[in-house]
């Protein structure tokens, strides 16, 4: 059996609690979950899930949001009916 080592890293407290909850539901320890991640990553030579940028944060949308905020701050906001989807 291979020698085990300790690995330490920082994680947001809320994310840790969510992960602990999911691990408990799955009957896993967080250590086992990270081991599964590490083994899969080592075997596949990739992050074992899709990592992408949320298109909401593209520069054109962020500029649109900045203009809207500036208009609201200048008192130029327009009321509208709420639309349920």
Looking at every residue in the chain, the average pLDDT score rounds to 91
Query: What pLDDT is stored for residue 81 in this prediction?
Result: 82
**pTM more than 0.75:** no
Q: Give the residue-averaged pLDDT of 26-32.
A: 95
71 φ, ψ (degrees, to nearest 5): -65, -45
DSSP category for residue 27: T
Crossing angle (nearest 10°) for helices 30-44 and 13-26: 90
- Tell me the C-alpha distance between 23 and 54, whole Å: 26
- Tell me the C-alpha distance between 19 and 9, whole Å: 15
Query: What pLDDT is stored for residue 57 in this prediction?
Result: 86
């Amino acid at each position: 059996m291979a020698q085990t080592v300790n690995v330490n890293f920082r994680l947001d407290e809320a994310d840790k609690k969510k992960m602990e909850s999911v691990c408990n539901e799955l009957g896993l320890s967080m250590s086992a979950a990270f081991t599964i991640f590490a083994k899969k990553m080592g075997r596949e030579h990739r992050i074992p899930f899709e990592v992408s940028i949320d298109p909401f944060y593209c520069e054109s949308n962020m500029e649109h949001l900045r203009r809207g905020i500036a208009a609201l701050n200048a008192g130029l906001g327009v009321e509208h009916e709420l639309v349920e989807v």
